[in-house]
Amino acid sequence: MQSIRIGTFALAALAGVLSCSGKKGPGATTGAGGTQLADLMKARNLGEADVVAALKTYQPTGRHDDYLLFGSGGHSGQVVVVGLPSMRILKYIAVFTPEPWQGYGYGAKGEQAVLDQGKRFGKDITWADTHHPALSETNGDYDGEVLFIGDKANARLAVIDLRDFSTKQIVTSELLASDHGAAFVTPNTDYVVETSQYPAPLGGEYADLKEYNDKYRGAAIFWKFDRAKKRLDPAQSFAIELPPYMQDLSDAGKLDSDGYVFFNSFNTERAYGGVLEGNVSLESGASKNDMDYLHVVNWKKAEEVAKAGKVETISGMRIIRLPTVIAEGILHFVPEPKSPHGVDVTPDGKLIAVGGKLDTHATVYEFAKIKSLIDAKKYEGKDPYGVPILPFKEAIKGQVELGLGPLHTVYDGKGFAYTSMFLDNAVAKWSINDLKLVQKLTTHYNIGHLTAAEGDTVSPDGNYLVAMNKWAIDRFAPVGPLLPQNFQLVELNGKDGQMELLYDLPIPLGEPHYAQIIKADKVKSLQVYAPGTDAETFEKAEHAVEGGKERIEKKADGVHVYMSAVRSHYTPDIIRVKKGDKVFLHVTNQEQTHDATHGFAINSYNINLSLEPGEHTDVEFVADRAGVFPMYCTEFCSALHLEMAGYFLVEP
Amino acid sequence: MQSIRIGTFALAALAGVLSCSGKKGPGATTGAGGTQLADLMKARNLGEADVVAALKTYQPTGRHDDYLLFGSGGHSGQVVVVGLPSMRILKYIAVFTPEPWQGYGYGAKGEQAVLDQGKRFGKDITWADTHHPALSETNGDYDGEVLFIGDKANARLAVIDLRDFSTKQIVTSELLASDHGAAFVTPNTDYVVETSQYPAPLGGEYADLKEYNDKYRGAAIFWKFDRAKKRLDPAQSFAIELPPYMQDLSDAGKLDSDGYVFFNSFNTERAYGGVLEGNVSLESGASKNDMDYLHVVNWKKAEEVAKAGKVETISGMRIIRLPTVIAEGILHFVPEPKSPHGVDVTPDGKLIAVGGKLDTHATVYEFAKIKSLIDAKKYEGKDPYGVPILPFKEAIKGQVELGLGPLHTVYDGKGFAYTSMFLDNAVAKWSINDLKLVQKLTTHYNIGHLTAAEGDTVSPDGNYLVAMNKWAIDRFAPVGPLLPQNFQLVELNGKDGQMELLYDLPIPLGEPHYAQIIKADKVKSLQVYAPGTDAETFEKAEHAVEGGKERIEKKADGVHVYMSAVRSHYTPDIIRVKKGDKVFLHVTNQEQTHDATHGFAINSYNINLSLEPGEHTDVEFVADRAGVFPMYCTEFCSALHLEMAGYFLVEP
């Protein structure tokens, strides 16, 4: 279980250096009563590399982390925020799944409206399989304003405002039945890209699998982002139709390749399983071809074509049909080996690395070559749907042999690429210029994605990488058959410039797929809301309650309660209604002190609010059960927090 | 922001000790190329105390933590599991709130049945305000079998089996409208105690607040635990009626005081607010009296009385009415200062410490004195309901002045007690024998509960304590107006035997109230389930599917799908039904490999399962929307995980 690593600092040099470290405290020279470093190392069985790793990650009380990692929460439907280098989880953001601590989906009208946007075919969908977060970008760099995240299971996207780390919008189009290449942004966040994963008839209609080749399709939606409103605008969004392969990850071009976006695909075999119907399984059928197709998409051209109205509308979404996509030169294919996962544009926008999970290489495409081939219409053929295929060998810079199961590549901005090796349990570091493998670092276990500090922007920071391992097995104390994932923090420039493992972080909830790491000081989050703020609009709420103006009004539509919350009481603290009354609560947290959050719960009514300082929230419900229902503050606010309570009385 | 602490190891002694540490690695004496410890300290601005703290908490990859902390998740409705000393969160256990990563409340029939047990008045309650976890005990020591947790908001208890860290049972009685003194166990887990917090008419009936003194009541339920079944048995449980004070925390006697349980109370003033009705607020009204009442309850006597049938039944719960409670000598009061929170029995069972949050002392009661006063019927009066009141001064050992806002006390088994000081932002250490304050350690900020390693058992471990701070304010990088809580790890025997702060852990989801810390090796959790296990019963599931026997059967009640999941396919992988069909999925994960969990999701049907190795799960739903719905594995299981997919086809 113990790590075996080479010592990373020099003992002989230590004494001299320490004696001039200037860190002597009172009694430092006495040697009496103090815990000795070496005793401690022995007692805790720590080697020198452990000491270095510990000191590189430890944050004393009150010291802030330098980076924030935003990770998808997988099928928890949430987003996880981790501080680096301490690898402490700072927050789970409720996104697609109701979460009561944040008062998300437990009575608050504004938050419920966001969740309701996520319905599919009129049905509540109260979870998600969040895969790929995307921070908003300006000129190809993270700007810290907004985070997008995709739901693979139900083909949805969410928008999280980083002023308050809360979810403001969910969009979905019934055009798609699932997604995977979502969310990925263009360099100025003009569009957020969502590509389908499992082909289906567009728009949710029924067609038998026998008609797979003709009636099943892939598609990619370009969701238009309105930066002023910080919302996606479905009316300005459009889609392009794709052949029924399984489109996978995506990445937008930047700088030299700006205007293009790249999708991977697998299952160009168009297998669909059917093991009890005489077919091979999908895993077998989809793994026959040695090459699948890298999709090269000219999204600026697509935008023009959509603006020109060369679209049909399916499920309310404008879509450029495949013949038009081809005729307008929006889509070209380049072969890519074999069942690839990640497609990752280098920081300068010149190259694109693809990891074929059943191949042993990273394949590096050169955008300039692709562009020349497109311009010259130099095709080696067309796919069954007429999409032109560019010649593989003329499109690549080359390949680098990495080992087994290459999945996903990130960059350090210093000439190196880092590819996760699922089957090898390793991160492979390789030089971009000469395509040489430099180092492989063992990870634990089954690494999926990896992420580097600002590593998919135009200016990676080149210091940290996180390996997102899918299995933990024996890494942590046992907690039942369902185990955490294991995020491993890797220093990129450790001893001798090599990668060094610093820290193992169990992920206690959800299964993060991809993550992005941003400098913490780029994110300008609020400490408090302005008094009476509606957190959905960041404006003064219509029913905001000022201190001294609290009241209960019986109106035609029901009982309106204008309530304030402040340490340590609600006003009013007694609400009297009759059974069957509709109740409208309008609650404003009067606090303007950082961290002075109040909760508000009513017994047996499934209501819980989280009222941040200054926040106003509205609730509507029917008092359908007579009785005496305590209501109280669920966020420990003060010494008299338990006394911050009242009664909701429903007369029979 | 930076910590200011006294150096804890001696620099002068360091060189000599390190040179014989035996930890030299290759190149250790060269001094070339290695990172120097002192350079690192300087670069990261770490003092000596920081180095010590870092090394006392760091766990190299694969090294397991020594302790598991089980914390309530507050209004997240969940339980959080943290490893000590690394302070890494190992798992969030879904308890009262549906959680899709664990497949809890998203189609799995067994898990849904557990959640459905939590209904109140027939209504779904899909969140909770979890407050106090209680590990099962044998002879007053944690046995690692089961964890109980209370829901303050809706007066419920849950039972979590520590074989698989999953929730097996929720119980509630509509007798109570809220609870707080829950869950607390008797020393052999005969009973789990749940006391009400906010008085209300028993059983959920309506009565106006004008009738508060006459018709509102408190109560305590003694939930009988069936250890063989690992379930609470409502039929064998009973309650006692209490006056309408606000009963607060609880603790069971042990050893000398076994057979008794102690409840705190506040609001013996019987205030109920009404600030818009001419009354004072509850916080004001409930803070008038200098003394409230420590409730001394003879639960073994109560058990006898209940067995003798001297009960009424309200909302299906047998309850000993207050006159009988008094007549049978089940309940005595002792005055306690002022609006207390914690009541905590010492490891030897002889003393009981109470923190009065508006007082400056810990007040230490002596059980032998209380028992003598009860036996001698030496009362100083009775409360308005006739409960005899024992004389305060004759019941106590003494008081120790600690400062502002004492809340809760834990023990180290070495003669010291540790009390959280909410208003002082500190932990106060005091000696039990001579009632002297020994040390105060600053915490950040607003400490609520604290918890020590096995610190509320008969044999505390005396090494670690965790301060559960309610506010974080400036401790962590900003993540919006809603902040994490801050768990601070404290070493009890640091330099010169003093408490030392080791680590700050942000809690990223929920607001833990109390927590318990158990030696990790006491918890015997499963790696995999036996093939085809129903996780609710730990027995072979009725519909468990063996490999090779997968099939689809159309029966009178609908379409039954007997499915297996194994890397990397489902069998069957195509399901064809007609719109309106009832669908019965019977899915068995065939894996017997540790960590080989599979998910199972169907697009747009709000279904997601988490199938641990060996686990069988049943799902029933109506195929109410025609179309083509991809289904796939949501837990990244293998290199061909994305290919572990199929189609659910619903013909119109």
A475 contact B CB<8A:
yes
> Which of A104, A111, A127 to mutate to probe the B interface, most B CBs <10 Å?
A127
C-alpha to C-alpha distance for A417 and A564, rounded to whole angstroms: 55
Which among A15, A405, A613 has the least Cβ separation from residue B639? A405
- Partners of B33 on chain A (C-beta within 8 Å) are 495-496
> Which of B314, B495, B509, B524 to mutate to probe the A interface, most A CBs <10 Å?
B509
Which among B64, B448, B505 has the least Cβ separation from residue A88? B505
Name the residue of chain A whose CA is nearest to B34's CA.
A9
> Which of A67, A121, A479 to mutate to probe the B interface, most B CBs <10 Å?
A479
A40 contact B CB<8A:
yes
A476/B56 CB distance under 8 A: no
> Which of A4, A6, A11 to mutate to probe the B interface, most B CBs <10 Å?
A11
Average pLDDT, integer, range B318-330? 98
Residue A440 has pLDDT above 80, yes or no: yes
Residue A336 has pLDDT above 90, yes or no: yes
C-alpha to C-alpha distance for B213 and B199, rounded to whole angstroms: 10
Name the residue of chain A whose CA is nearest to B601's CA.
A153
- Partners of A642 on chain B (C-beta within 8 Å) are 180, 197, 246, 248, 266, 341
Residue B484 tokens, joined: 């994490």
**Ramachandran area for residue A488 (φ above 0: left; ψ -120 to 50: alpha; else beta):** beta
Name the residue of chain B whose CA is nearest to A645's CA.
B282
Which among A1, A62, A495 has the least Cβ separation from residue B2? A62
Closest Cα of chain B to A358: distance in Å?
8
Task: Tell me if the bond preceding A85 is cis, omega within 30° of 0.
Answer: yes
> Which of A41, A66, A69, A75 to mutate to probe the B interface, most B CBs <10 Å?
A75
Residue B23 has pLDDT above 70, yes or no: no
Q: Which residue has the tokens 């493992």?
A: A501
Q: Which amino acid is at A193?
A: V
Average pLDDT, integer, range B29-53? 76
Residue A29 has pLDDT above 60, yes or no: no
- Partners of B91 on chain A (C-beta within 8 Å) are 479-480, 482, 484, 506, 508-509
Closest Cα of chain B to A368: distance in Å?
31
A44 contact B CB<8A:
yes
Closest Cα of chain B to A287: distance in Å?
9
CB of B84 within 8 A of CB of B464? yes
Which among B36, B473, B647 has the least Cβ separation from residue A594? B473
User: Given pLDDT bands bounded at 50, 70 and 90, which one contains residue B34?
Assistant: very low
B64 contact A CB<8A:
yes
Which among A80, A599, A651 has the least Cβ separation from residue B75? A599
> Which of B29, B46, B63, B473 to mutate to probe the A interface, most A CBs <10 Å?
B63
- Partners of A277 on chain B (C-beta within 8 Å) are 572, 574
Q: Where are the alpha helices (DSSP H) in B238-350?
A: 282-285, 299-307, 322-327
Which among B49, B90, B478 has the least Cβ separation from residue A508? B90
Backbone angles phi, psi at B395, to 5 degrees: -100, -15
Residue A17 has pLDDT above 50, yes or no: no
Find the helix packing angle between B11-19 and A11-19, rounded to 10°.
170
Structure confidence by residue, pLDDT tens digits, B133-151: 999 999 999 999 999 999 9
Residue A9 has pLDDT above 70, yes or no: no
pLDDT of residue A30: 28
A509 contact B CB<8A:
yes
Which among A29, A180, A505 has the least Cβ separation from residue B11? A29
Closest Cα of chain B to A507: distance in Å?
7
B61/A127 CB distance under 8 A: no
Structure confidence by residue, pLDDT tens digits, B387-427: 999 999 999 999 999 999 999 999 999 999 999 999 999 99
Average pLDDT, integer, range A36-60? 94
- Partners of A649 on chain B (C-beta within 8 Å) are 206, 208-209
- Partners of A276 on chain B (C-beta within 8 Å) are 550-552, 571-574
User: Given pLDDT bands bounded at 50, 70 and 90, which one contains residue A13?
Assistant: very low
Average pLDDT, integer, range A207-221? 98
Put simply, the chain A residues between 69 and 108 with a CB less than 8 A from any chain B CB are 73-77, 80-81, 83, 88-92, 97-102, 106
Average pLDDT, integer, range A509-528? 97
> Which of B42, B80, B91 to mutate to probe the A interface, most A CBs <10 Å?
B91
Average pLDDT, integer, range B487-514? 96
Residue B161 tokens, joined: 């089996």
Residue B246 has pLDDT above 90, yes or no: yes
- Partners of B112 on chain A (C-beta within 8 Å) are none
Structure confidence by residue, pLDDT tens digits, B544-564: 999 999 999 999 999 999 999
B58/A54 CB distance under 8 A: yes
The conformation of residue A590, written as its DSSP 8-state character, comes to -
Residue A392 has pLDDT above 50, yes or no: yes
- Of B27, B349, B481, B589, the C-alpha closest to A598 is B481
Average pLDDT, integer, range B361-366? 98
- Partners of A482 on chain B (C-beta within 8 Å) are 91, 102, 164-166, 597, 610, 612
Strands of B48-180, DSSP E? 67-72, 79-84, 88-93, 130-138, 141-151, 156-161, 166-172
Structure confidence by residue, pLDDT tens digits, B503-528: 999 999 999 999 999 999 999 999 99
Residue B19 has pLDDT above 60, yes or no: no
Query: Could you tell me the maximum CA-CA distance found in chain A, to the nearest angstrom?
Result: 84
Residue B621 has pLDDT above 90, yes or no: yes
Backbone angles phi, psi at B169, to 5 degrees: -155, 145
pLDDT of residue B20: 28
Contacting residues for A444 by C-beta, under 8 A, at least 6 apart: A425, A469, A472, A473, A475, A486, A488, A504, B61, B62
Average pLDDT, integer, range A139-161? 98
Average pLDDT, integer, range A516-544? 98
pLDDT of residue A390: 98
Residue B4 has pLDDT above 50, yes or no: no
Q: Say how many CB pairs under 8 Å bridge A and B.
A: 717
A540 contact B CB<8A:
no
A14/B10 CB distance under 8 A: no
Structure confidence by residue, pLDDT tens digits, B75-94: 999 999 999 999 999 999 99
pLDDT of residue A37: 86
Angle, alpha carbons A96-A100-A104 (nearest 5°): 45
B604 contact A CB<8A:
yes
Q: Across chain A, what does the average pLDDT equal?
A: 94
User: Given pLDDT bands bounded at 50, 70 and 90, which one contains residue A448?
Assistant: very high
Q: Which residue has the tokens 């080791």?
A: B502
pLDDT of residue A308: 98
Residue A216 has pLDDT above 50, yes or no: yes
User: pLDDT > 90: what percent of chain A?
Assistant: 94
Structure confidence by residue, pLDDT tens digits, B333-355: 999 999 999 999 999 999 999 99
Q: Across chain B, what does the average pLDDT equal?
A: 94
Residue B36 has pLDDT above 80, yes or no: no
Q: On the CB side of B368, how many CA atoms lie within 13 Å of its CA?
A: 5
Is residue B316 helix, strand or coil? coil
- Of A419, A467, A479, A461, the C-alpha closest to A87 is A467
A270 contact B CB<8A:
no
Is residue A329 helix, strand or coil? coil
A643/B282 CB distance under 8 A: yes
- Partners of A27 on chain B (C-beta within 8 Å) are 6-7, 10
**Measured CA distances, B34 to A490, B43, B531 (Å):** 17, 14, 51
Residue A28 has pLDDT above 60, yes or no: no
C-alpha to C-alpha distance for A152 and A179, rounded to whole angstroms: 5
- Partners of A269 on chain B (C-beta within 8 Å) are none
- Partners of B275 on chain A (C-beta within 8 Å) are 569, 571-573
